Homo-oligomer: A and B are copies of this chain.
Amino acid sequence: MTTDGEVRRGRRRGAGREAKRARAAAGGISQAYIKRKIPYYEILNAEGLEIIEYNADTILEEIGIDFRDDAEALELWRAAGADVQGERVRFPRGLCRKLVQDSAPAIFTQHARNPANSVLIGGDNTVMVPAYGPPFVHDLDKGRRYATIEDFQNFVKLAYMSKSLHHSGGTVCEPVDLPVNKRHFDMIYAHMRYSDKPFMGSVTAPERAEDTVAMARILFGDDFIDPETGQEKTVVVNLINANSPMTFDETMLGAAKVYARANQACVISPFILAGAMSPVTVAGTAAQILAEALAGMAFVQLIRPGAPVVFGTFASSISMQSGAPTFGSPEPAQVMYIAASLARRLGVPFRSGGGLCASKLPDAQAAYESANTLQAAAMAGVNFMLHTAGWLEGGLAMGYEKFMMDADQASMLSVFLGGVDMSENGQAMDALREVGPGNHFLGCAHTQANFESAFWRSEISDNNSFEQWQSEGSLDAAQRANIRWKSALSSYEAPAIDIAVDEALQEYIKVRKAAFADANY
């Protein structure tokens, strides 16, 4: 909890730092997200994508999707023209696509409480988001352990201070030191209080989604999210996983309904370990993903036409020997490329990606696997890149060092996605004429003029000579990252917040927590 003094100090200092941070991002240009200036990579041609789309429609028409324990959902589908048998819903060809294309926005703004940090989700934009969901945390000092609310707050702070992460994320780790039925209050409050970047809402029960919306109304004000007028701005993005294969359960449907009715965004994400929850092939998995995403996004449009949806996918493959999920491997990258193309053809934003890995440590395995997924996600055109930073151990652990290293890679990708400068200055013919054969460019006028903006630099990598590196302690990348996260946390200052708003949030939490039977827990 912060004192008034802290809040006021944070407001003053925070504003200056914020401006500086914004200027520093992306080579001096204020940018709360990445505006892509390079082409997408299309791994399949139109004919291949049409086959996948046809097969998805066949899945929807012949096999169908289960909507479990939700009579309202079944009634809505029946009214929309679907064939409902028990909980199985079968869809006339093209119905889901039509529902999505008729009303889902191709691009939407997720507002942050600091307007400079609002993000555009969809189109040619990329938003980098921390990892989501790990019950454990890991660092070099204490190893692996269960996550706490302090860890949660730490990752919110680290994401807030990161130049390359555009979002505070959601369940940056699972604070298992707090009771399951009430921890969402502390998680949402941490995002609201310790960051002013956009964040994600609770989806683990419909009433927790309602708490999220209620707290967002306090934070942003009733005029911002006004259920009376329907002029509701989108301030939370929410992860609605399909229960693959081809199933949505009542928890996810319940949360989706709450968010859709408040015009908050739903990321409909088939969660797939290919070979177990989908066929053992890329094309088969892609068709299933499209079918599930179409059914989920269309359902949101039935609840509230125009509510923002994101085509999500999380696909890994498994070891056929052990059943363990594997990351950084070729088949999930191919699935991601195809899904991104399908989302563009459908005209909705796309979520995938991230720094996925199976490693237990911030070692070379973690880095190879994460880089492979980050690269593919960037090339594919992911709009909402969940799990960008921190992932270890197949998502079971959030790593402090890993977080810093992945955020560094996200910074690299932001420059890559910014494209090639083909201006006269970029072509540099003057430099070539000035320097000529056999000389060097370090001192020429063009180099001097472009010195500040020249070349991305890692904040983690050591590029010095072996001897200098040795004289500085022969640290590896994880050890350097360890120094950086500690240094960042020690210099953290909270962004300013209106004291009345903060008090109202705390009061809401106090009242709501007291309403639980285990109030004294």
Answer yes or no: A369 CB below 8 A from chain B CBs. Answer: yes
Q: Are B365 and A368 in contact (CB under 8 A)?
A: no
Beta-carbon nearest neighbor of A68 in chain B: B438
- A329-B412, A405-B368 given; A245·B284 CB < 8 A: no
Q: Is the CB of A358 within 8 A of B420?
A: no
Residues of B within 8 A of A405 (CB): 364, 368
Q: Are B426 and A62 neighbours in the complex by a CB distance under 8 Å?
A: no
Identical chains bound together, number: 2
Give the complex CA separation of A371 and B161 in angstroms.
26
Does chain B have a CB within 8 A of A103? no
> In whole angstroms, how far apart are the Cα atoms of A41 and B380 in the complex?
11
| Nearest B residue (CB) for A64 | B437
Is there contact, CB below 8 Å, between B375 and A371? yes
Of A194-202, A232-240, A473-481, A498-506, the stretch lying at the interface with chain B is A473-481
- Pair A275/B63 contact, Cβ less than 8 Å: no
A360-386 residues with Cβ-Cβ distance < 8 A to B are 360-372, 375-376, 379
Q: A267 interface residue, CB < 8 Å from B?
A: no
Asked if A210 lies at the interface with its beta carbon under 8 angstroms from chain B, I say no
Inter-chain CA distance A429–B39, complex, in Å, is 32
Chain B residues near A24 (CB-CB < 8 A): none
Note all chain B residues with C-beta closer than 8 A to A474.
360
Q: Are A279 and B446 in contact (CB under 8 A)?
A: yes
List the one stretch of A69-77, A147-155, A463-471 in contact with chain B: A463-471
> Per a CB cutoff under 8 Å, which of B247, B371, B431, B450 touches A372?
B371
A364 to chain B, nearest CB (A): 4
CA distance A446 to B326 in the complex (A): 20
Which residue of B144, B323, B436, B454 contacts A246 across the interface (Cβ within 8 Å)?
B436
Per-residue B-contact encoding for A57-98, CB less than 8 Å = 1, 0 else: 011001111100000000000000000000010000000000
8 Å CB contact of A367 from B365, B426, B464: B365
| A441 contacts partner chain B, Cβ-Cβ < 8 Å | yes
Known: A320-B454, A426-B282. A371 touches B367 (CB 8 A): yes
Q: Which one of A62, A442, A455 has the greatest number of beta carbons of chain B within 10 Å?
A: A455
Chain B residues in 8 Å Cβ range of A39: 41-43, 45
Q: How far is the CB of A418 from chain B (nearest CB, A)?
A: 8
* Cβ of A278 under 8 Å from chain B: yes
Which residues, 423 to 479 on A, are CB-close (under 8 Å) to B? 425-429, 431-433, 435-442, 446-447, 450-451, 454-458, 460-466, 469-470, 474, 476-478
Q: Is the CB of B366 within 8 A of A447?
A: no
Q: Decide yes or no whether A269 CB sits under 8 A from chain B.
A: no
- The residues in A between 300 and 347 inclusive whose CB is less than 8 angstroms from any CB of B are 317-326, 328-331, 333-334, 338
Instruction: State whether A334 and B447 are in contact (beta carbons under 8 Å apart), knowing that A284-B431, A478-B363 are contacts in the complex.
Output: no
CB distance from A269 to the nearest CB of B (A): 17
A358 contacts which of B276, B409, B463 (Cβ < 8 Å)? Answer: B463
A421 part of interface (Cβ distance < 8 Å): yes
Question: Apart from A275-B442, A281-B454, A334-B416, what 19 extra A-B contacts exist at CB < 8 Å?
Answer: A51-B422, A63-B433, A144-B466, A245-B436, A245-B441, A277-B441, A281-B427, A281-B450, A283-B428, A287-B428, A317-B455, A320-B451, A325-B463, A326-B461, A358-B462, A360-B466, A365-B476, A369-B461, A393-B466
Interface residues of chain A, those whose CB is within 8 Å of chain B, are 38-39, 41-45, 48, 51, 55, 58-59, 62-66, 88, 144, 243, 245-247, 274-285, 287-288, 317-326, 328-331, 333-334, 338, 358-372, 375-376, 379, 393-394, 396-397, 405, 409, 412-413, 415-416, 419-422, 425-429, 431-433, 435-442, 446-447, 450-451, 454-458, 460-466, 469-470, 474, 476-478, 481
A to B CB contacts below 8 Å, 24 in the list = A38-B43, A43-B419, A48-B420, A64-B437, A243-B438, A245-B436, A245-B437, A275-B454, A276-B442, A279-B432, A280-B428, A281-B425, A284-B428, A318-B455, A324-B465, A329-B412, A333-B416, A358-B461, A358-B462, A363-B363, A363-B478, A365-B458, A365-B460, A368-B371
